[in-house]
Structure formats: structure tokens, C-alpha cells
């Protein structure tokens, strides 16, 4: 029996091992499958990791984070609201048709059409007009002066007008045709999406004959796949998971600071955090350095403003938080009754529960009375977007606008018009409005510097750190993670 069993296992093992290995193919394990492959629909990492390789964008960011040409080779602002782009004329879609200015215009009109219902509408609806001046020239018009236009256009993928109009939106999503370095090959629903290299790509297409993006929801399983060699690149690691990879020659851990800023949101309309002294005490109770170094340790950088060095509008001169639990205790003990008001800390399973628990402990240590409430993501989002009286007293978030501009993070979290914001400060509103429409970088920078200072002085929100992203990769793979968490196959290489 035992003998037979061993033979059986050995033969199974032989089957598993003898599976042909193509050194040139890449397997990436994501945490979920793409929601859509139509780049103008869903906008979440699992989707854009994949479709950004199928499509070219009007502009892009290089690995250093600078905005550089892609489909547009140059651009010129001809008035406060009008910009003219010159396009490459050597770009063809995967079906062989040439990419022209008409396609760019169509792409803009499609994503800004409210009836199309793109979730990304809010990022592009400042664009009021798109016009093809000739085959390789496009003029975009905005509602008013819009300084973040270029940062948004980095996310505008160009879709082929003739294909979308011929097959319709649903079929296009199921079998997308782009002009990018990789062509769509197959979508096994729930399992994986596979791409093959586009031989006719106008630029560098990277080293892979094909690439497969698989959906592997459990982080422990993704790590196991990497260690077993069945995946070359995995996402969604934390530093403790990365530690599991340490000392193994065949794998490496890659990390980069991102444009996500982690913060502790406070409900300013409810006790205890309607009291500025107690908010100050909370800021003193939190050991930011302990969290970033002791707990996270992946290169996170403590921040005292809602921006990071990866953003336009980051201000170097904002004072860091002061960790002083004894001082915090003193403030709290003077207002012990108010501080002891039961407060709820809303969070969801996707956030790092280690941080949430550490924060709770630090705050309770100085005399607050905080309990954690984990709900699933939609419930959490409903709670943090609700009116102040129904809202939780505390929430932990990691905000990304994918635009690397302070506008995308300060406006939603601090402006009184925004559903996410619990702040209502007229002076702050004016600064944010000014910075939003000014085309002069210097006056924008000055406005943000002042805004950060107001937030810091009033403890409206407690920014914590610039988040880092960790990837596990096969040690043969060369890949430079970027602040906008992109995953361009044509910027990777095999190190052999």
C-alpha cells in the first residue's frame, strides 16, 4: 500500500514538474481578477495592472514620476482653457488600423459622456471639448483653468473608435483591442487573463512572449506560488510576508514609496474629537515612527500633511508630529470625562489590522476609550461617507488619487463640499479652491503649504505616513516599482 502510494505521488510529481517552462513567459499573481479590461470602465489596481499593457495612454509617467510623452509627442497650452497635442503618426492598433486624432477625440468623448457611466468620469469631466485639428493634432478644452489636466491625462487610454463602434461596449470589454505593447489573448473568467507580445509595437515591448495575470485572493497562497516558482511576480505583500521570503535565493522583495498617504480621520462633530486639545493629545499619543519602523518596515515615511514627496503640493516645512505619550496623558487627564466618551474606530478587512490595533492601543493608553469595528468594504465606505452624526469617530484610510497632485487628496478629504470630508473651514476651502484652478505652480504650491499648515495646527486630520508598496518577485526579474503602482511589462526584464 505504502509503496503504491509513493509511486502514485511520484508520478503526480513528475507530471507537475515536467510541465514545460518557458523562460520568456511571465506569470503575475494579483489578488483579484480584473473587473474590466475596457480601460474606460473600472479603475482599480487589479484591472489597470492588466489593461495598461494592452493600451497606450495619451501621456505617461516615467519611472521617476515625471510626465512624459506616449501617444502625444508634444503639447502646448494655447489659452487658459485650451491645450493642443501633437500625436505620433506611427501607432497602429492590434487589428492593424492606424491610431489617429479621431480615436483620441472618441476616447475623450466616450469617457466624459455621462450616459456611458464610466466610474472614472469624475477624473475627466472638467474636459468640455475635444476636437481633431488634423490626423495628428488634437485640441482639448476644459471648463475653466485646470492645472491637474496633464496629471489626469496620464490615465486616459486611447481606444479604437472603429472597433468600439462596430462591436459595442460589452464585446469590447470581453475582447479589448488596443495599441499597447501586449495584445489581449484570452480571459478565463475567474482564473486569469493572458496577453501576448505585440510584435508591431512602436516602442520597446519588453522581454516576454506572453504574460498571464492570475487571480489568487489569499496572500499566503500568492507567497506559496512565488516560492514554488509557479508565479514570477506577486502583489499585496506586507513586511511580515516579505520576511518569509528573506534568505531564499530564488526570490526577491521589491518595494517603493507610493503616492498613497495613510491617515487617521477624526470626526470633528462628535466627542471626543470635537475638542482641539484632545485631537492634539491624539496626535501626541501616536508613535508614527514606531509604526513605520517597528511594524511596517517597508520604507514608509512618516508624514504630517496630506501629501507626500510624490505629490505636487508637498511642503517640506511642515513640522513632524511629536510623539509624547506623557504630554498626551496630561492633556487627557484634564478632560478625562470627555476623552472617555466611547468612540468607534471604523475599518475594513483590506486595511492592515496590525496598524488599526496598534493605533487603538496607543490612543487607549493615554486615556481614550476606543473600540474597533471591522465591517466589509461597502459598509465601511458608507459609514465614512455618511453625515457626521452617523459617522464613526475614527477611521483609518490610505488615500490615493493616482494623479500625484495634492488636489486629489486634500480636496476630497478637507473641502467642506466633499462627502468624504469632515472639515468645514472657510479659509481652507478658499485655499483649496484657489489651488484647484490656478495655472501658476508657485501660487498653487503656496496655497497648499498654507493649507497643510492649517490642518497641522488644527489637527483636522492626522496624516500618518507615505505608504510603500511591496512586491515579491522571482530573483531573475528586473522590475522597478513606481509611486503610482503601475506594472508596465515593457519596463521589466529578465536579468540573465
| Binding to other proteins, residues 337-396 (CB under 8 A) | 348-349, 353-354, 356-358, 360-361, 371-379, 381-382, 385
402 binds other proteins (CB under 8 A): yes
With CB under 8 A as the contact rule, the residue among 36, 258, 267, 391 that binds other proteins is 36
Q: Does 120 bind other proteins (CB under 8 A)?
A: yes
Q: Distance from first CA to last CA of the chain, Å, rounded? A: 45
Q: Check binding of 170 to other proteins (CB under 8 A).
A: yes
Q: How many whole angstroms separate alpha carbon 86 and alpha carbon 136?
A: 6
Instruction: Provide, rounded to whole angstroms, the least separation between the CB of residue 94 and other proteins.
Output: 20
Per CB under 8 A, contacts with other proteins among 233-252 are 240-241, 243-244
Residue 341 contacts residue 369 (beta carbons within 8 Å): yes
Nearer to other proteins, 91 or 403 (CB): 403
**CB of 347 within 8 A of CB of 372?**
yes
Q: Does the footprint of other proteins cover residue 218 (CB under 8 A)?
A: yes
User: What is the distance, to the nearest Å, from the Cα of residue 205 to the centroid of all Cα atoms in its chain?
Assistant: 24
- Least Cα distance to 89 among 106, 72, 65 occurs for 72
- Whichever of 30 and 101 has its CB closer to other proteins, that residue is 30
Query: Judged by CB under 8 A, does residue 173 bind other proteins?
Result: yes
Closest CB 347 distance from other proteins, rounded Å: 9
Parallel, antiparallel or unpaired: strands 59-61 and 72-77: unpaired
Task: State which of positions 289-318 bind other proteins (CB under 8 A).
Answer: 290-291, 294-295
Helix (H, G, I), strand (E, B), or coil: what is residue 317? coil
CB 377 within 8 A of CB 406: no
The residue (of 21 and 64) whose beta carbon lies closer to other proteins is 21
What CA dihedral angle connects 214, 219, 222 and 223, to 10 degrees? 160
Nearest by Cα to 455 from 431, 420, 439 = 431
Q: Are 140 and 149 in contact (CB under 8 A)?
A: yes
Gap between the Cα atoms of 154 and 156, Å rounded: 6
97 by Cβ neighbours in 10 Å (0-12 / 13-18 / 19+) ranks as middle
Residue 210 lies near other proteins (rule: CB under 8 A): no
Binding mask 422-461 for other proteins (x = CB under 8 A): ----------------------------------------
Q: Which three cell numbers stand for residue 370?
A: 476606543
Q: Which is nearer to other proteins, 379 or 443 (CB)?
A: 379
Binding of other proteins at residue 220 (CB under 8 A)? yes
User: Which three cell numbers mark 205?
Assistant: 515591448
- Binding range to other proteins, per CB under 8 A, among 284-292, 307-315, 451-459, 464-472: 284-292
Q: Which stretch binds other proteins (CB under 8 A): 38-46, 69-77, 447-455, 467-475?
A: 38-46
Using CB under 8 A as the binding criterion, the count of chain residues that bind other proteins stands at 85
**Looking at 175, 191, 204, 439, which residue binds other proteins (CB under 8 A)?**
191
Nearer to other proteins, 115 or 316 (CB): 115
Backbone angles phi, psi at 95, to 5 degrees: -95, 5
Amino acid at each position: 500500500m505504502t509503496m503504491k502510494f509513493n509511486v502514485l505521488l511520484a508520478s503526480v510529481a513528475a507530471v507537475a514538474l515536467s510541465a514545460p517552462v518557458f523562460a520568456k513567459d511571465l506569470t503575475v499573481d494579483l489578488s483579484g481578477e480584473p473587473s474590466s479590461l475596457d480601460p474606460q470602465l473600472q479603475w482599480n489596481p487589479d484591472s489597470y495592472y492588466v489593461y495598461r499593457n494592452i493600451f497606450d495612454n495619451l501621456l505617461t509617467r516615467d519611472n521617476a514620476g515625471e510626465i512624459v510623452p506616449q501617444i502625444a509627442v508634444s503639447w502646448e497650452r494655447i489659452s487658459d482653457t485650451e491645450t493642443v497635442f501633437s500625436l505620433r503618426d506611427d501607432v497602429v492598433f492590434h487589428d492593424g488600423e492606424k491610431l489617429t486624432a479621431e480615436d483620441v477625440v472618441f476616447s475623450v468623448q466616450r469617457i466624459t459622456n455621462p450616459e456611458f457611466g464610466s466610474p472614472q468620469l469624475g477624473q475627466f469631466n472638467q474636459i468640455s471639448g475635444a476636437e481633431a485639428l488634423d490626423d495628428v493634432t488634437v485640441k482639448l478644452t476644459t471648463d475653466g483653468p485646470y492645472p491637474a489636466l496633464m496629471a489626469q491625462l496620464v490615465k486616459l487610454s486611447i481606444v479604437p473608435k472603429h472597433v468600439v463602434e462596430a462591436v459595442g461596449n460589452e464585446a469590447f470589454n470581453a475582447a479589448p483591442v488596443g495599441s499597447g505593447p501586449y495584445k489581449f489573448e484570452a480571459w478565463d473568467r475567474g482564473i486569469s487573463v493572458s496577453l501576448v507580445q505585440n510584435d508591431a509595437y512602436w516602442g520597446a515591448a519588453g522581454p516576454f512572449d506572453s504574460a498571464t495575470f492570475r487571480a489568487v485572493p489569499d496572500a499566503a497562497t500568492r507567497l506559496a506560488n512565488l516560492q514554488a516558482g509557479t508565479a514570477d511576480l506577486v502583489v499585496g505583500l506586507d513586511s511580515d510576508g516579505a520576511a518569509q521570503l528573506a534568505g531564499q535565493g530564488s526570490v526577491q522583495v521589491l518595494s517603493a514609496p507610493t503616492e498613497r498617504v495613510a491617515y487617521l480621520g477624526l470626526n470633528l462633530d462628535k466627542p471626543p474629537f470635537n475638542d482641539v486639545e484632545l485631537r492634539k493629545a491624539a496626535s501626541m499619543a501616536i508613535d508614527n515612527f514606531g509604526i513605520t519602523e517597528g511594524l511596517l518596515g517597508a520604507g514608509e515615511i512618516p508624514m504630517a500633511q496630506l501629501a507626500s514627496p510624490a505629490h505636487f503640493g508637498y511642503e517640506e516645512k511642515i513640522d513632524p508630529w511629536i510623539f509624547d505619550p506623557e504630554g498626551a496623558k496630561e492633556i487627557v487627564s484634564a478632560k478625562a470625562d470627555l476623552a472617555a466618551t466611547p468612540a468607534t474606530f471604523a475599518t475594513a478587512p483590506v486595511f492592515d489590522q496590525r496598524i488599526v490595533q496598534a493605533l487603538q492601543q496607543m490612543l487607549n493608553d493615554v486615556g481614550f476609550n476606543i473600540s474597533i469595528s471591522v465591517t466589509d468594504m461597502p459598509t465601511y465606505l458608507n459609514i465614512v461617507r455618511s453625515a457626521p452624526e452617523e459617522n464613526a469617530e475614527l477611521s483609518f484610510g490610505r488615500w490615493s488619487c493616482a494623479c500625484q497632485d495634492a488636489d486629489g487628496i486634500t480636496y476630497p478629504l478637507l473641502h467642506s463640499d466633499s462627502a468624504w470630508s469632515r472639515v468645514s473651514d472657510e479659509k481652507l476651502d478658499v485655499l483649496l479652491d484657489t489651488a484647484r484652478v490656478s495655472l501658476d505652480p508657485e501660487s498653487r504650491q503656496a496655497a497648499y503649504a498654507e493649507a497643510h499648515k492649517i490642518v497641522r495646527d488644527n489637527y483636522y486630520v492626522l496624516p500618518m505616513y507615505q505608504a510603500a508598496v511591496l512586491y515579491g518577485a522571482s530573483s531573475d526579474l528586473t522590475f522597478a516599482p513606481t509611486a503610482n503602482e503601475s506594472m508596465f511589462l515593457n519596463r521589466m526584464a529578465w536579468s540573465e
